[in-house]
Structure 1
């Protein structure tokens, strides 16, 4: 029998007949299992009955509950055993499964979980004594960012300023875009691209079989930020550098720092590490914590080759308005800047104080040329200002929305 096992037998017919008996016994032997069984018989024909048993068992049985029915059917076919009822409930007496050996229960240990290692009960714990204390609710504390948002800049250390700087970077992540005059090929475009369409028509006897469409290219609205780093802005200088870094990395903005001279910080603030970016930007400003000449620096910006970046852009100026230049010079420089820029936003760290009135001559001279004056004394003010700037769609036909009440100018 070792050499003549299944010799001359049609393997497909044998597999189908055996699967039919298994299905009548309740074993779900489908076509996939039968195909696996036939393939295994073709690759490695069994020469002994145990090899055929394991081949059929592995190929045709998928569940542990069907092993008893499979053993009865296999014994009835090959072992000349007496006919047994082919039902799952009738298991042969004395049968021992060599693969799945049951774990005996340990009756001596009542907490053993019935012999199952994965169902071990936890050790008994003594009941807690009754307490006279009433029900106490957990104390809700603000998050680290929420607790620092309303604190003045002079009360924050370097790590706290860096933490809030990351929040500013996330606040300007959705900076709006503007429509440019350039067009790019796009299947969703509404305008027909003539040159690509005519170029493709040369291959089809000048018949425009394939029509190429294009749509306008959208780019982020250009932003120019100018930060005052004079002595009066010592407490706010580092925070404003984080704000400028957020716009420089997200909106591709041009950023400048000024005191008595103008310093471009765009390249320094685009570094990956915020600590290195702020440190390099601080080192690049040679006149930091000195005097202030706002009008002179604005004229220098408009006269330089970076003045073209102001054209059609949103100009954000962060300063308290203290200026050594005459108010008339600042008003003239702001007038030139207003004719070239799209919008001018002034961030004043003292504008959020209750009862604030721009009594400083420089601030009073520059305010008529500004579209909006926003408070920027805390990081919450900066977050609100960044959210208001990015939530507004700047188009030529729309008026600037009312964000804060307009202050009253006193000469």
Structure 2
């Protein structure tokens, strides 16, 4: 690899695709078409220069103003600039590159075969490759510097529940005829015929409820999972609880914009750090106090736990089945699932798994990105960690065993 461009082969593509995945996890609507345009733009510009990669991604991957702030944070965290802003001043930043002119210049250089006289700077791939490797490493194995890098990437996360159609309607070009607006338009014209006005259902994200295990067995993962919950709590329809020997609602504590202040507030509010685990009793308490009254009804509920249970596993099975009937979807993220030879043999995990819609990993940054995609409604396969892949009852069968059909 030299300073004249990105390395050839799948390694360079993996770096750029990993950056696109990080943007998607941060809530940027990065579609396959945008990723393809990003790769073409980087290839047409100077792939080894941070400034060109920055502008190529900003012009192709961002769809609206809300995406710009997320893009700045993810670019800074992914490519090593702690400030989260544009590339440093050591690399000359020209105005926004004109892609058509850049394509013509690139074609002319390829015909003449002359080298580029402008300084290329450090290749972006060499800066991002460690981050791409870091995404797949278990957070327990990280050193302090790598933990700080993961924390910066987690701060750029965004968690949005699966969309649902609400009862409200909005004006639209297609859809059923809106009789009230159509009649008002005709009256405004003095009774003359007018164009038919139409409306469509408004789509809103479902509520997301996170239950984070902070018991002793989950202590190595508690910080990363709570920082993931802090990024998720920026959404208005997200609730966060900690579970161990007690159930503690920490949504207000996680409302601080600064992650470190939020973690300090959670540390003061949670009285049962590194204690035991009473999943069945605490899940029953959650359903009695909040879930049954509406917090879990039609929501996406995520349990982040290793499944170790000190109480009766039959109680956990009954309460998980009860939650499955109330919620739209129940997702269980287990950091131990990624270990070689893992099987859900713990009594609590084995009891709850038949009533879980998706069983995924939660040990690394890439696993949490996948978890965010599952919460948004992405389909999972056997390698992605569905409940059926681990021998659990499929959702339809679990519903038949657990009781009546859940609300939409």
> What is the total number of aligned residue pairs between the two structures?
266
- Normalised by the size of structure 2, how large is the TM-score? 0.58
Larger radius of gyration: 1
The yes-or-no answer on 1:293 pairing with 2:275 is: no
The yes-or-no answer on 1:350 pairing with 2:344 is: no
**Matches of residues 377-392 of structure 1 in structure 2 within 5 Å?**
377-390=363-376, 392=378
The yes-or-no answer on 1:284 pairing with 2:266 is: no
Q: CA RMSD in A?
A: 3.0
The SS at the match of 1:257 is strand
**Matches of residues 111-126 of structure 1 in structure 2 within 5 Å?**
none
**Matches of residues 77-226 of structure 1 in structure 2 within 5 Å?**
143-156=129-142, 160-168=146-154, 170=156, 172=158, 176-184=162-170, 186-205=171-190, 209=194, 211-226=196-211
Give the alignment partner of residue 337 of structure 1, picking from 311, 323, 345.
Answer: 323
> Per-residue displacement from partner, 1:328-380 (whole Å, max 9, x unpaired)?
10011011001111111111111111111122111110011112221222233
The yes-or-no answer on 1:404 pairing with 2:385 is: yes
Which stretches in structure 1 are left out of the alignment for 5+ residues?
Answer: 1-138, 394-399
Q: Match for residue 25 of structure 2?
A: none
Higher helix proportion (structure 1 or 2): 2
Give the alignment partner of residue 360 of structure 1, picking from 326, 346, 353.
Answer: 346
CA contact (8 A) 2:155 2:259 kept: no
CA contact (8 A) 1:220 1:251 kept: no
Q: Match for residue 89 of structure 2?
A: none
CA contact (8 A) 2:167 2:202 kept: yes
CA contact (8 A) 1:162 1:274 kept: no
Alpha-carbon shift at residue 320 of structure 1 (Å): 0.7
The SS at the match of 1:242 is helix
CA contact (8 A) 2:160 2:208 kept: no
Distance in 2 separating the partners of 1:252 and 1:235: 28
Alpha-carbon shift at residue 264 of structure 1 (Å): 1.4
CA contact (8 A) 1:221 1:251 kept: no
CA contact (8 A) 2:161 2:300 kept: no
CA contact (8 A) 1:171 1:387 kept: no
Which stretches in structure 2 are left out of the alignment for 5+ residues?
Answer: 1-124, 393-408
Alpha-carbon shift at residue 230 of structure 1 (Å): 0.7
Q: Match for residue 55 of structure 2?
A: none
The SS at the match of 2:272 is coil
Structure scoring higher RCO (CA < 8 A, sep ≥ 6) equals: 2
Q: Match for residue 244 of structure 1?
A: 229
Alpha-carbon shift at residue 391 of structure 1 (Å): 5.9
Alpha-carbon shift at residue 382 of structure 1 (Å): 1.9
- Normalised by the size of structure 1, how large is the TM-score? 0.57
CA contact (8 A) 2:300 2:330 kept: yes
The SS at the match of 1:188 is strand
